[in-house]
Amino acid sequence: MPVVLTVVLLFQFAGLLLAVFIMELTVGICAAVFKTDYKVAFKESLSESLRHVLSSGKDRSNYYDVARDRTTGGAGQYGTAYDAIDGRDKNYWDVLQRQFKCCGVDGPKDWPDNIRPISCCLDKFCWGDTAVYHQVGCYDTLVEKIHMSTSILVYVGIGIAFVEIIGIFITCWLANAIRNDDDEIVKIHNGHHLHTHSET
């Protein structure tokens, strides 16, 4: 491969690394600038989902009574109330609250007392005045989880960017070194050619 082509390819590779670095930097800046907007939109989405659950069905008064019904062996009233609630959003909230040990968007007060789901409960069997619920809202819990995950990604991104910057400098240095060596070889060759020509 000609030396000139090698140098051109090396500089093109350095330019590609620089373009990738600039894109990563742009994405990082945009994420930092619009982080508040994302959090507001995320909270509004959770609130809208909860409002949808609360507005679904005609009779939701026994939503939290599943523990009582299981211990007594009856599920008639609970089943009717449970089925009256929109299945998709209700199931999402039950899974969310059980898995992340949270309750509501901002806390258990987001749920009216008479329809607070048992997925909010600290214990499997809880109802009425003796029930103890998770006091942390799902919004804060999820934001904390996301923050922990994104922090790891940020550190990984910084490491990758550092490697890219080093790659850019090494590539440019190598291209310049090859070009300078080629210039030296050409000068030596020309000098030797002139010396030989003068002797003849």
Fold of 49-136: Cd81 Antigen, Extracellular Domain; Chain: A (1.10.1450)
CA distance 152 to 150: 5
Residue 194 structure tokens:
């002139």
Across 73-79, average pLDDT: 36
pLDDT at 105 over 90: yes
Of residues 162, 153, 128, the one with CA closest to residue 32: 153
Task: Tell me the pLDDT band of 185, cut-offs 50, 70 and 90.
Answer: low
pLDDT tens digits, one per residue of 140-163: 999 998 888 877 888 888 888 888
Task: State the amino acid at position 167 in one-letter form.
Answer: G
pLDDT at 59 over 50: no
User: What's the chain's Rg over C-alpha atoms?
Assistant: 33
Instruction: Provide the 3-class DSSP secondary structure of residue 121.
Output: strand
The reported pTM is 0.60
Residue 110 structure tokens:
């987001």
Range from 79-83, 94-98, 158-162, 195-199 that averages highest in pLDDT: 94-98
